[in-house]
Amino acid sequence: MKLFVVAAALLLTTPTLADDAMHATAAGFYGVLKTTQPRGVPDDADRAKLAPYLSPTLEASLKAAADAEARFAKANKDSPPLVEGDLFSSLFEGITAFEVKACTGDATKGSCAVALTYDDHHDKPAQWTDTVYLVKTLAGWRVDDIGYGGDWAFGNKGRLSETLKQVLSF
């Protein structure tokens, strides 16, 4: 009986292969964000770098948002873009460091908490936690949405999918 209890405890505390795969996808995604630092709706080149980590739904939403951004810019020559700053984190300035924390989910969807930092080496670093939502596709785990977790007055709030819907409304 003791052996069964110990084995059950290990199963409950040991990450599953799915958790590991979600973690790897989230880490790859944030690694690309850290190096490319796209601003606003990503252009074709930045979307291509992110594509291996994006769900088909998110990839299509980003493409549609880029098209809406182009239509808006054409119709409003002297206006700023619809989205400025980092679209993929709570902070306008983006991220300079990340750490993917615990991932949880089932066979089709999951999420990972991601501790994010922005450090410009002038002020105290900003630190917060966003949540990356993943879905299982035929190609493996892919990022499907982001929940913004920053608690400051200005910055992205809600979810990335909601922000993209607002862009598409123009």
> Is 1 contained in some domain?
no
> Is 5 contained in some domain?
no
Q: What is the rounded distance in angstroms from the CA atom of residue 96 to the CA atom of residue 115?
A: 11
What residue numbers bound the domain in which 69 lies? 17-168
> Is 4 contained in some domain?
no
> Is 9 contained in some domain?
no
Hunting for tokens 């990503």 — which residue is that? 42
> Is 8 contained in some domain?
no
> Is 7 contained in some domain?
no
Q: Which residues of the chain have pLDDT under 50?
A: 3-14
22 CB-near residues (< 8 Å, 6+ apart):
103, 105, 110, 111, 112, 134, 141
> Is 46 contained in some domain?
yes
> Is 2 contained in some domain?
no
Number of domain units in the chain: 1
> For the domain that residue 136 is a member of, what is the CATH number?
3.10.450
- Supply the pLDDT for residue 103: 97
- Supply the pLDDT for residue 11: 43
